[in-house]
Amino acid sequence: MTLHHEIRGRRDAGAPTVILSSGLGGAGAYWAPQIEMLAQDFRVVTYDHRGTNRSGGRAEGTIAAMADDVLQLAVAAGIERFHFVGHALGGLIGLDLALRSASPVESLVLVNAFGRADPHSGRCFDTRIALLEKAGVEAFVEAQPLFLYPAVWMAEHAERLRAEIAHGIAHFQGRENVLARIAALRAFDVEARLGQIPVPTLVVAARDDLLVPYTRSLALAEAIPHAALALSDFGAHAVNITEPAWFNAAVGSFLASRKG
């Protein structure tokens, strides 16, 4: 099965490729604020994770299986090597890919990700599961922005959030898919192997992230041999959306130096 994906930007032979992978929601559209910037220099691939949005099937229960999906997508699109940008769960997929032998990953950007989930993140997952199981889909989706965005940003973007919530309810990926994807997040643990990641890596984080403590990113940057850290004081979990100028400058500069 080929995941739903979109390719933008450069189409010339030999154009460097960047694959963008989103978090728990799984939507390729999550990266809208980055597309125009990246498309100037790269072939840009966004995709919907298996079992989410426009990709069919049931969500995979392990990060490794989700990484397999990326490799299958790359083969289907004729992509041999690529840079990989992953947000949260997408960052875990990137870590899995980068740790494989003969990995096609040329460089890695990890956004509010982790080598192993912090207990605080576990409490957040428990809260979200309880909302889904006891209060239903609408309550689960209504609460989602609280884990993604800063309070001031939410207050200033009330109309956008109303539309986002309505879309999330109408296109909910399903209870079993959500539970399987959260289970995959919780089971993931590569902390002991981070020193084996051979590619240049940019670790991006926001200090005010409610869902993933920024200290998880500090641990990644310290353990990965060729890692740099970009740390914002503001922006929360979805920092690429709430602070796009800062995010695009940091990620754009990192990738530009490695596009070949």
Domain segments of the chain: what residues?
A: 5-256
Q: Round to whole Å and give the CA distance between 238 and 84.
A: 17
Pair 80, 202: CB distance under 8 Å: no
Contacts of 7 (CB under 8 A, 6+ apart): 43, 44, 45, 77
Taking only the tens of pLDDT, the chain with its 260 residues reads 678 999 999 988 889 999 999 999 999 999 999 999 999 999 999 999 998 888 878 877 899 999 999 999 999 999 999 999 999 999 999 999 999 999 999 999 999 999 999 999 999 999 999 999 999 999 999 999 999 999 999 999 999 999 999 999 999 999 999 999 999 999 999 999 999 999 999 999 999 999 999 999 999 999 999 999 999 999 999 999 999 999 999 999 999 988 66
Pair 120, 54: CB distance under 8 Å: no
Q: Round to whole Å and give the CA distance between 246 and 252.
A: 10
Chain centroid offset of residue 41 CA: 21
Q: What is the pTM of this model?
A: 0.97
Pair 247, 235: CB distance under 8 Å: yes
Pair 118, 126: CB distance under 8 Å: no
State the distance between the two ends of the chain, measured CA to CA, in whole angstroms: 31
CATH number assigned to the domain with residue range 5-256, chosen from the 4 options 3.40.50.1820, 1.10.3720.10, 3.90.1150.10, 3.40.50.620: 3.40.50.1820
**Could you give phi then psi for residue 206, rounded to 5 degrees?**
-125, 135
